């Protein structure tokens, strides 16, 4: 079987599995968030944090809950890393430095999972399991909760109530993330990933060198790392490490886990607003951009010029031999477009133009299909912008799902789309203007610039992957990137929740023949076009000086 | 109440002018779309140039964030050109940036200029009126300037006087020439009491004497408001315009960031970007096209209404008109011709059709109402009965039609003939000792069910008093209404017919006209309830009205169009006034509202789509020096970096001027479904907006490269 055919079959299997699962899974998630019952374990959690899960919250209360919870998480994680040497199972690791601890805490709470450290030689068992792994669950659940609040904003009318943050958070963890993670972890262990709390093994290699082999609860963290679009690997090599991702099957399973929640949430959305077709239009826009990325990167990697590449059948530098061209490319596109940031190959080594596609995937705002929850609300914000333009063109003041897009709504949507471009461009601009930017590069020329641009794009969009080699563990980058992650995560959420509140208060406008049909392919096309033009064009000059300059040079 | 409404409908129909539209207002043909086509004369551009330059004042410019950025950019490039005066490129860019700003102001100035002429005519009408104010004791009379009148003053106007201010007639009847406001030269009747008591300052009394109670302060009169409306002085940004401005401002900020962070990136790459180049890039990227034309589009939209003799009291109302999903239309005058007409004579058993026709005609000779006339005409046309005149019959005693008796007829040669409303005629027959045959009842019901109005014809002669037959009066639905309602339905607008008729009649007419729903035996309370019900479901409602009892409903409706012939209460309550008092215009108002929004959306889409081509012109021009590979992006094959940047800037400026006519005229509008309309407009303005600048920039580059020493 040729490798191209194998790649095609893999993509078919992946898309087939997603298509099969997204309906029942999306419906299940809708049922979870609309259910009136509490499980016993959930009641126990509500009691211990003193929350009333049945109290409806208006948007400021919902926001307050979310921010307080996240702030406490950052603080807890920071302290844990600072005192990890004094706790059991420390493996003898020193406490993490303040700037790196801040960066890492910000990174895991914001669902970014940017890692300026190597997990296996820095983080103790307690930090990994009680700190980082917990955040993998809760940060993903926070994103989904905010998305659900926005969906309720569309679904409800003449009420300011958006549901209960604590109930949404806890249910998401207990009923969605944990069960799937358990199943996925078992599958990963069965397929060869490791899971233990052992000590470091020191072995002697064939050439007589000593090598330290790190153990750990890898499979369990691997499952939620991908399912929650977190991306923080147990090992520095992330999913390229054979303990995390041993073979082609686990690779496919991990890609599936990356994509399954983001691609199923539009169904949940459709279900909750009472029109599943609206969900299909959103998922179609996500799918089109994702698929275009897959095709582009795979093709560019196969077509990479150069003697070595052509002999190897494609650009294989930085990729795992056990995966090959297609599975590496599909993983790379899926991880950048889902705000996951786990990697099974080094994005740094992709050809210039493919690197550009991966960058663009993040720059679009992580919406195709995007992170857990954040992908859905990001795409809905773009849909509001698209509706605003298109709605005018049918001669009505714009409305989406029966809600008027007026001054307040467009103001909040405009603020949302301003945040990440501002963080990326200002961050990269400052880094390039100061010596710190150039010092951190491991390459010269356009590629060196791409590294800096990639770092800020990844942090601001809460992706977390990096152009490998980039020396990010400095005070400057730990601090600036940490800020980008926090602001890039929570500022948009403020606008999303305010928007949700404003939508929920409106009464619903009934659909007529004069209403723009947002469930039709035409609107999906318009949405994709608006995303590419509005978000894509913002970064065109920067992309031209990085990946485009590099890719078009040859 | 039912009868009251009927009467009102009748009175309305008699005063509804059916004149042709102004000759200078192009109404367009169906194929072109009914709205659209405001005239645009290129000479207006030149005439408005001084105004455009005056608008360069930063305090004015700051209201449009996009153009303000261009203004700042122009100043910056000019300053930098002074620092390096030998650089032709800096000067050329500066010049074109200034032109961009001026072009934007020009668009607004032209739009405003069109209203100015109208305002001047109106001003002439209100200058220097002298009022004859009655003193408080009601005896004496004093001369005061019209500007010194206060609310509650009583003024006298006689033939030849200009009415000094808005008010209601409290005494007398007069014919008034309102052409100063409506453009309609035929005089109208104004009388105390009832729905025709309102008079407008600036109009002229042609005959008789009236006493007017002033209801508006000087400076706030209808004519004052009209002047400020057509001039655009009172123009406030509408909600949707504000929202669009926010979106444009945020796009501007995004692009500002993209350009402002470029120098460190470029320095690293090894090339220095000058301020001139950065400003040029920024101006090309921010949505200048829509930013420049946005306010002109709004002004022109209001202007299109004014051209159709409709005054919108707020821009919000015009936007709401585009969103309307329910139209309440009065039956009489809007859906049907003003008057019912006789369509057939139906005999009861034992009489012939000809007999009925003869009796009907005879009894209607003394009926001067349009219905009465139509009976005489039908008898003549269908049965060849010559129209007799009242003088021909000697010794005849004529009984004229009155609203009280609801019957007319004649007593001649010992024979009494009557025709009229069923109740009245039956009562008369019984009074004369006659028997009413059961036939009459059945026939009347059949006519009612068919949507007609039955009139009975009766006679009393030697055979005694009896019913001869029934006249079928029919509402005549205006031509083309069904098609119009079908179009509205495709646009997603529901039509509801409002009538004082009974449900049976109403249903028949509703079916014939093709409206979606009807409200029969409508009282003002019913109307109000209907509006509230629709609004509770999230719908926007538009209606017309003229009576004082319409006022609450007019105020409640999202778009309330008051007829100019109506009472001042109605005019005060509505948010639009139709000077022609033509209820059919509601449909046009909706179309104009939609057209306004479409024009905004289309030009925004066009403006944003333009950016793609500009990138392909400017990015290779800036960076191909350091990264030669980027020259592959120069797909337009532009001759030199300088020429590429300049061409993009020039295109950016010229496209504004090129689109001024479209902004003023509005995008062509045809009623169709939202889906079709989106596909069409997205094709023209989205795809067109992607492609057009590639061609435009290439052509400009070719021309520039012909200039010796450049390129």
State the ipTM, two decimals. Answer: 0.92
B568 contacts B198 by C-beta, under 8 angstroms: yes
User: What per-residue confidence (pLDDT) applies to B361?
Assistant: 87
User: What per-residue confidence (pLDDT) applies to A20?
Assistant: 96
Residues from chain B contacting residue A456 (CB–CB below 8 Å)? none
**Where do the DSSP E strands lie in A393-509?**
399-400, 403-404
Chain-wide mean pLDDT for chain A?
91
Q: What distances in angstroms separate CA A389 from CA A406, A503, B247, B291, one per listed residue?
A: 12, 18, 10, 14
Residues from chain B contacting residue A429 (CB–CB below 8 Å)? 260-261, 264-265
Which range among A365-374, A430-439, B410-419 has the greatest average pLDDT? Answer: A365-374
Distance from CA of A413 to the nearest CA of B (A): 9
Q: What distances in angstroms separate CA B349 from CA B352, B423, B427, one per listed residue?
A: 8, 20, 20
Residues from chain B contacting residue A529 (CB–CB below 8 Å)? 686
Residues from chain B contacting residue A549 (CB–CB below 8 Å)? 269, 623, 626-627, 629-630
Q: Give the predicted TM-score (pTM) of the model.
A: 0.85
What number of other Cβ atoms are within 10 A of residue A50's Cβ? 7
B674 contacts B593 by C-beta, under 8 angstroms: no
Q: Choosing among A394, A439, A454, which should be mutated to test the B contact, i.e. which has the most B CBs within 10 A? A: A394
- Is residue B580 annotated as a catalytic residue, yes or no? no
Domain residue spans in chain A?
A: 3-553
Cβ separation B686–A529 shorter than 8 A:
yes
B278 contacts B69 by C-beta, under 8 angstroms: no
Q: For the ranges A12-21, A41-50, B67-76, B228-237, which has the lowest average pLDDT?
A: B228-237
CA distance B93 to B78: 9
User: Is the model more confident about B505 or about A411?
Assistant: A411
- Run of H or E including B191: strand B188-191
Torsion of CA A30, A33, A34, A35, to 10 degrees: 110
Give the pLDDT band of residue A172 (cuts 50, 70, 90): very high
- The set of residues, in sequence order, having a beta carbon less than 8 Å from that of B353 and lying 6+ positions away, is B345, B346, B347, B383, B469
Backbone angles phi and psi of B168, in degrees to 5: -115, 140
A282-334 residue pLDDT tens: 999 999 999 999 999 999 988 877 777 777 777 788 888 888 889 999 999 99
Distance from CA of A56 to the nearest CA of B (A): 24
Cβ separation A407–B243 shorter than 8 A:
yes
User: What per-residue confidence (pLDDT) applies to B3?
Assistant: 39
Tokens 């026939």 locate to B443
DSSP B196: G
Q: Which of B259, B537, B595 sits opposite A395 (nearest CB)?
A: B595
Cβ separation A414–B246 shorter than 8 A:
yes
Mean pLDDT value of segment A109-113: 93
Q: Binding residue per annotation — B371? A: yes
Cβ separation A545–B627 shorter than 8 A:
yes
Burial class (CB in 10 A: 0-12, 13-18, 19+), A27: middle
Q: Choosing among B65, B66, B257, which should be mutated to test the A contact, i.e. which has the most A CBs within 10 A? A: B257
Q: Binding residue per annotation — B177? A: no
Looking from the CA of B559 toward its CB, the CA atoms found within 13 Å total: 34
A140-155 residue pLDDT tens: 999 999 999 999 999 9
Residues of chain B with pLDDT under 50: 1-38, 711
CA distance A140 to A408: 28
Q: Which of B611, B623, B681 sits opposite A533 (nearest CB)?
A: B611
What is the share, in percent, of chain B residues with pLDDT greater than 90?
28
User: What per-residue confidence (pLDDT) applies to B421?
Assistant: 85
User: What per-residue confidence (pLDDT) applies to B126?
Assistant: 66
B146 contacts B131 by C-beta, under 8 angstroms: yes
Residues from chain B contacting residue A432 (CB–CB below 8 Å)? 264-265, 267-268
Burial class (CB in 10 A: 0-12, 13-18, 19+), B281: buried
User: What per-residue confidence (pLDDT) applies to B127?
Assistant: 61
Helices B503-513/B438-449 angle, 10° precision: 40
Cβ separation B675–A545 shorter than 8 A:
no
User: What per-residue confidence (pLDDT) applies to A1?
Assistant: 61
A234 contacts A221 by C-beta, under 8 angstroms: yes
Cβ separation B605–A410 shorter than 8 A:
no
Q: Exactly one of B330, B501, B580, B701 is catalytic; name it.
A: B330
User: What per-residue confidence (pLDDT) applies to B63?
Assistant: 86
A232-286 residue pLDDT tens: 888 888 899 999 999 999 999 999 999 999 999 999 999 999 999 999 999 999 9
């Amino acid at each position: 079987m040729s490798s191209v055919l194998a790649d095609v079959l893999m993509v078919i299997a992946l898309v087939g599995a997603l298509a099969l699962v997204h309906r029942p899974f999306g419906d299940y998630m809708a049922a979870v968030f609309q259910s009136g019952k509490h499980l016993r374990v959930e009641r126990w959690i509500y009691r211990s944090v003193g929350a009333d899960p049945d109290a409806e919250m208006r948007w400021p209360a919902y926001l307050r809950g979310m921010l307080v919870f996240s702030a406490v998480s950052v603080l807890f994680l920071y302290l844990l890393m600072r005192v990890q040497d004094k706790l059991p199972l420390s493996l003898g690791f020193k406490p993490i430095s303040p700037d790196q601890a801040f960066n890492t805490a910000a990174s895991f709470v914001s669902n970014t999972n940017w890692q300026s450290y190597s997990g296996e030689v820095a983080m103790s068992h307690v930090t990994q399991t009680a700190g980082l792994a917990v955040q993998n669950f809760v940060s993903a659940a926070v994103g989904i909760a905010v998305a659900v609040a926005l969906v309720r904003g569309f679904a409800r009318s003449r009420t300011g109530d958006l549901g209960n943050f604590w109930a949404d958070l806890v249910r998401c963890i207990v009923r969605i993330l944990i069960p799937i993670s358990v199943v996925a972890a078992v599958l990963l262990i069965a397929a060869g990933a490791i899971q233990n709390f052992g000590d470091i093994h020191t072995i002697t290699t064939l050439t007589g060198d000593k090598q330290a082999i790190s153990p750990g609860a890898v499979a369990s963290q691997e499952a939620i790392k991908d399912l929650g679009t977190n991306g923080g690997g147990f090992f520095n090599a992330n999913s390229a490490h054979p303990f995390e991702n041993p073979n082609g099957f686990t690779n496919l399973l991990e890609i599936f886990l990356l994509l399954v929640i983001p691609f199923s949430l539009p169904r949940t959305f459709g279900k909750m607003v009472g029109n599943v077709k609206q969900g299909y239009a959103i998922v179609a826009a996500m799918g089109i951009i994702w698929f275009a990325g897959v095709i582009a990167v795979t093709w560019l990697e196969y077509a990479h010029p150069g003697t070595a590449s052509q002999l190897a059948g494609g650009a294989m530098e930085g990729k795992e031999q056990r995966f090959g061209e297609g599975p590496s490319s599909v993983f790379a596109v899926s991880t950048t477009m889902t705000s996951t940031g786990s990697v099974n190959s080094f994005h740094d080594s992709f050809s210039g133009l493919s690197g550009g596609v991966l960058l663009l995937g993040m720059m679009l705002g992580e919406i195709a299909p995007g992170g857990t929850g954040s992908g859905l609300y990001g795409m809905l914000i773009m849909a509001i912008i698209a509706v605003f333009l298109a709605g005018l063109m049918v001669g009505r003041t714009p409305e989406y799902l029966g809600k008027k897009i007026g001054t307040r709504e467009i103001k909040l949507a405009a603020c949302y789309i301003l945040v990440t471009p501002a963080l990326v461009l200002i961050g990269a601009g400052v880094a390039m203007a100061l010596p710190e930017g150039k010092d951190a590069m491991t390459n010269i020329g356009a590629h060196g610039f791409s590294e800096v641009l990639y770092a800020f794009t990844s942090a601001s969009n809460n992706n977390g992957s990096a152009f490998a080699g980039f020396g990010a563990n400095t005070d400057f980058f730990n601090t600036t990137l940490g800020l980008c992650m926090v602001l890039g995560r929570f500022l948009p959420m403020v606008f999303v929740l305010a928007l949700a509140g404003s939508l929920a208060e409106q009464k619903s406008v009934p659909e007529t023949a004069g209403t723009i049909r947002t469930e039709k392919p035409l609107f999906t096309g318009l949405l994709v076009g608006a995303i590419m033009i509005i978000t894509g064009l913002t970064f065109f000059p920067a992309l031209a000086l990085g990946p485009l300059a590099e890719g078009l040079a040859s | 109440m039912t009868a009251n409404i009927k009467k009102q409908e009748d009175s309305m129909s008699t005063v509804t002018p059916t004149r042709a539209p102004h000759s200078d207002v192009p109404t367009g043909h169906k194929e072109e779309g009914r709205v659209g086509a405001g005239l645009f004369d290129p000479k207006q551009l030149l005439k408005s140039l001084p105004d455009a330059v005056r608008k360069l004042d930063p305090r004015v410019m700051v209201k449009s964030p996009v153009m303000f950025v261009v203004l700042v950019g122009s100043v910056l490039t000019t300053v930098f050109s002074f620092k390096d005066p030998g650089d032709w490129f800096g000067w050329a860019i500066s010049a074109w940036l200034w032109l961009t700003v001026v072009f934007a102001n020009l668009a607004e100035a032209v739009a405003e200029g069109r209203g100015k002429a109208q305002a001047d005519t109106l001003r002439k009408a209100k200058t220097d009126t002298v009022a004859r104010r009655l003193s408080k004791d009601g005896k004496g009379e004093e001369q005061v300037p019209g500007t010194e009148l206060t609310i509650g003053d009583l003024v006298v106007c006689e033939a030849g006087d200009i009415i000094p201010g808005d008010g209601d007639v409290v005494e007398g009847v007069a014919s008034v020439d309102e052409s100063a406001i409506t453009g309609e030269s035929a005089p109208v009747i104004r009388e105390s009491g009832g729905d025709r008591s309102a008079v407008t300052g600036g109009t002229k009394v042609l005959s008789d004497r009236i006493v007017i109670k002033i209801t508006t302060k000087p400076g706030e009169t209808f004519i004052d408001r009209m002047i400020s409306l057509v001039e655009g002085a009172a123009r406030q940004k509408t909600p949707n315009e504000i929202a669009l401005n926010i979106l444009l401002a945020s796009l501007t900020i995004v692009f500002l960031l993209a350009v402002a962070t470029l120098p460190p990136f470029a320095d690293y790459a090894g090339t220095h970007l000058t301020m001139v180049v950065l400003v040029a890039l920024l101006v090309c990227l921010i949505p200048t096209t829509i930013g420049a034309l946005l306010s002109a589009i709004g002004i022109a939209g209001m202007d299109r209404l004014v051209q159709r003799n409709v005054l919108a009291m707020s821009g919000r109302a015009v936007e709401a008109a585009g969103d309307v999903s329910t139209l309440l239309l009065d039956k009489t005058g809007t859906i049907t011709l003003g008057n019912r007409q006789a369509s057939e004579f139906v005999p009861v058993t034992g009489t012939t059709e000809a007999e009925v026709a003869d009796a009907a005609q005879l009894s209607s000779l003394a009926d001067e109402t349009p219905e009465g006339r139509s009976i005489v005409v039908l008898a003549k046309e269908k049965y060849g009965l010559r129209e007799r005149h009242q003088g021909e019959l000697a010794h005849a005693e004529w009984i004229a039609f009155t609203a009280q008796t609801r019957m007319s007829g004649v007593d001649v040669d010992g024979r009494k003939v009557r025709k009229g409303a069923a109740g009245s005629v039956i009562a008369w027959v019984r009074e004369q000792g006659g028997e009413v045959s059961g036939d009459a009842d059945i026939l009347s019901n059949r006519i009612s069910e068919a949507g007609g109005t039955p009139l009975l014809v009766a006679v009393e002669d030697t055979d005694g008093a009896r019913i001869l037959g029934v006249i079928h009066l029919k509402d005549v639905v205006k031509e083309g209404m069904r098609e119009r309602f079908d179009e509205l339905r495709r646009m997603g607008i529901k039509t509801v017919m409002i009538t004082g008729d009974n449900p049976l009649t109403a249903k028949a007419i509703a079916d014939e006209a093709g409206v979606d729903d009807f409200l029969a035996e409508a009282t003002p309370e019913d109307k109000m309830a209907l509006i509230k019900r629709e609004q509770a479901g999230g719908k926007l409602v538009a209606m017309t009205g003229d009576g004082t009892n319409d006022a609450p409903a007019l105020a409640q409706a999202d778009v309330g169009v008051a007829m100019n012939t109506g009472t001042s209460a109605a005019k005060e309550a509505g948010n639009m006034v139709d000077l022609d008092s033509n209820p059919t215009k509601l449909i046009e108002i909706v179309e104009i509202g939609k057209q306004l929004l479409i024009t905004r959306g289309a030009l925004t889409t066009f403006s944003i789509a333009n950016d793609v081509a500009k990138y392909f012109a400017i990015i290779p021009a800036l960076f191909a020096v350091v990264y030669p590979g980027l020259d592959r992006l120069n797909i337009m094959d532009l001759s030199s970096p300088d020429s590429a940047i300049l061409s993009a800037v020039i295109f950016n400026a010229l496209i504004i001027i090129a689109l001024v006519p479209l902004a003023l005229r509005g995008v062509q509008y045809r009623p169709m479904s939202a889906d079709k309309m989106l596909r069409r407009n997205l094709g023209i303005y989205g795809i067109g907006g992607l492609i057009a600048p590639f061609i435009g920039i290439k052509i400009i580059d070719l021309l520039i490269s012909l200039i010796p020493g450049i390129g």
